[in-house]
């Protein structure tokens, strides 16, 4: 399976190399040019790039490194007026310091905004779920209460001396009628979710994975997680609802993040590949705490969670989405540690790549 580097335009592993090369170029230029030319100001570019990719502490380290190089260049430069050199050196140091401070502040504000947005989305989801449940509970409560009342009435008519089978029969009929009302309600609810499930288009699973990555990339950087992909380029397109499949990948990826955070090794890998004939498999593997402390047959149940703030709906929703697409979802321990979550999607009605929509 060919490895596609994550962030193809600027591989995460290439970035530190790029910064070092850039710093070296600036350092050499700064040292060989005379004191009058403030090449060192260019170090701000390094700080600005670093802020995009590194955490707060590392950015400060990079900035400190740039400042040290500026001073070193000043000490090594042989030509020009030393006074200009001193002034330019000071200007460069101030520029690097101020840029670092402002860029970090902007990054923090952006992170806070994003956090608020995520929380809002979470609250909206929970509220919606809560409202939905309240209305279902309300609707179901009526026939169920009536069933209990009529059940008691039936028992009373039957226990009376003499028993009154006519009245008991009528009450039993009302029980049947109310039970049918409740069943109807449940049927309508299921119809509702099924209808929502059908926005299938021809899609490329790798594209869905890539789209999901752009959503979680920042979260990975923030938590120091090495996020990798191994995408099989030869997979056929398949018919599915892209938003829903993305939701599944997102749920699995966020679970993987939550499983590795706090640990030392923080690797999460998203893989796509062929499964059994007529199947595509997407896997999310992590090096996290694994499945030892969970009940493996229950993790896909609604409201099963081992997290203090967990809702326990992620895997339940994922399973219902995958199954409504005719696929399966399962978990296995990963080697040497962690967990792997897999889901399959059938390629029953597939289309070769590049044959148009």
Ligand X SMILES: Nc1ncnc2c1ncn2[C@@H]1O[C@H](COP(=O)(O)OP(=O)(O)O)[C@@H](O)[C@H]1O
Q: Is 243 exposed, middle or buried (0-12, 13-18, 19+ CB in 10 A)?
A: exposed
Q: What is the CA radius of gyration of the chain?
A: 30
Residue listed under structure tokens 């059908």: 198
DSSP letters for 57-118: HHHHHHHHHHHHHHHHHHHH--SS-HHHHHHHHHHHHHHHHHHHHHHHHHHHHHHHHHHHHH
Q: Which is nearer to Mg ion, 236 or 263 (CB)?
A: 263
Q: Which of 85, 275, 314, 346 binds ligand X (CB under 6 A)?
A: 314
First to last CA, the chain: 26
Do the beta carbons of residue 280 and residue 234 sit within 8 Å? no
310 lies in the site for ligand X, by CB under 6 A: yes
Interface region with ligand X, contact rule CB under 6 A, candidates 87-95, 103-111, 122-130, 254-262:
254-262
**Interaction pattern, residues 308-347, with Mg ion; x per rule: CB under 5 A:** ------x---------------------------------
Q: Whole-number minimum distance, CB 47 to Mg ion, in Å?
A: 36
- Total site size for ligand X, rule CB under 6 A: 23
Name the residue nearer to ligand X (CB basis): 117 or 306: 306
- CB of 266 closer than 8 Å to CB of 226: yes
- Report the alpha-carbon distance of residue 348 to residue 300 in Å, rounded: 25
- Nearest to Mg ion of 143, 314 (CB atom): 314
Residue closer to ligand X by CB (options 13, 307) is 307
Is residue 299 part of the contact set for ligand X (CB under 6 A)? Answer: yes
Tell me which residues in 34-53 interact with ligand X (CB under 6 A): none
Q: How far is CA 103 from the centre of its chain?
A: 26
Instruction: Provide the token pair at 338.
Output: 């962690």
How many of the chain's residues bind Mg ion (CB under 5 A)? 2
Binding window for ligand X (CB under 6 A); candidates: 151-159, 201-209, 255-263, 272-280: 255-263
Window contacting ligand X (CB under 6 A); options: 12-20, 143-151, 227-235, 304-312: 304-312
Among 34, 141, 193, 306, binds ligand X (CB under 6 A): 306
Per rule CB under 6 A, is residue 173 in the interface with ligand X? no
CA distance 148 to 136: 18
By rule CB under 6 A, what string of x and - marks binding of each residue 213-252 to ligand X? --------------------------------------x-
How many other CB atoms sit within 10 Å of the CB of residue 136?
A: 13
Q: Choose the binding region for ligand X from 19-27, 129-137, 204-212, 309-317 (rule: CB under 6 A).
A: 309-317
Q: Which lies closer to ligand X via its Cβ, residue 130 or residue 348? A: 130
Beta strands in the chain (DSSP E): 201-203, 226-230, 238-240, 267-274, 279-286, 329-333, 339-346
Maximum Cα interatomic distance, the chain, rounded to a whole number of Å: 120
Q: List residues binding ligand X (CB under 6 A).
A: 251, 255-256, 259, 286, 288-291, 294, 299, 304-307, 310-316, 339
Q: List residues binding Mg ion (CB under 5 A).
A: 255, 314
């Amino acid at each position: 399976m060919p490895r596609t580097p994550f962030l193809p335009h600027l591989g995460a592993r290439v970035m530190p190399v790029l910064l070092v090369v850039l710093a070296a170029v600036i350092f050499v230029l700064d040292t060989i040019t005379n004191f009058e030319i403030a090449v060192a100001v260019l170090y701000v570019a390094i700080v600005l790039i670093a802020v995009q990719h590194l955490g707060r502490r590392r950015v400060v380290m990079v900035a400190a490194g740039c400042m040290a190089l500026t001073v070193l260049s000043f000490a090594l430069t042989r030509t020009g007026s030393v006074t200009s050199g001193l002034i330019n050196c000071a200007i460069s140091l101030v520029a690097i310091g101020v840029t670092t401070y402002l860029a970090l502040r902007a990054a923090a504000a952006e992170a806070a905004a994003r956090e608020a947005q995520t929380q809002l989305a979470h609250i909206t989801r929970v509220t919606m779920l809560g409202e939905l449940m309240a209305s279902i509970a309300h609707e179901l409560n009526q026939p169920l209460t009536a069933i209990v009342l009529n059940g008691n009435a039936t028992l009373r008519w039957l226990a009376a001396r003499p028993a009154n089978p006519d009245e008991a029969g009528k009450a039993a009929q009302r029980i049947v009628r109310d039970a049918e009302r409740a069943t109807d309600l449940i049927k309508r609810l299921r119809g509702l979710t099924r209808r929502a499930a059908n926005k299938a288009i021809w899609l490329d699973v790798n594209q869905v994975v890539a789209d999901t990555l752009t959503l979680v990339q920042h979260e990975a950087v923030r938590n120091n997680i090495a996020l990798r992909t191994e995408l099989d380029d030869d997979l056929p397109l398949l018919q599915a609802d892209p938003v829903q499949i993305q939701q599944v990948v997102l749920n699995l990826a966020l679970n993987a993040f939550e499983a590795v955070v706090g640990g030392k090794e923080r690797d999460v890998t998203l893989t796509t590949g062929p499964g059994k004939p007529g199947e595509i498999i997407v896997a999310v593997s992590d090096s996290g705490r694994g499945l030892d402390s969970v009940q493996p047959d229950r993790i896909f149940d609604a409201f099963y969670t081992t997290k203090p703030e967990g809702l326990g709906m992620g895997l339940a929703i994922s399973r219902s989405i995958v199954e409504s697409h005719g696929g399966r979802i399962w978990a296995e321990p990963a080697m040497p540690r962690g967990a792997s979550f897999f889901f399959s999607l059938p390629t029953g009605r597939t289309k070769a790549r590049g044959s148009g929509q």
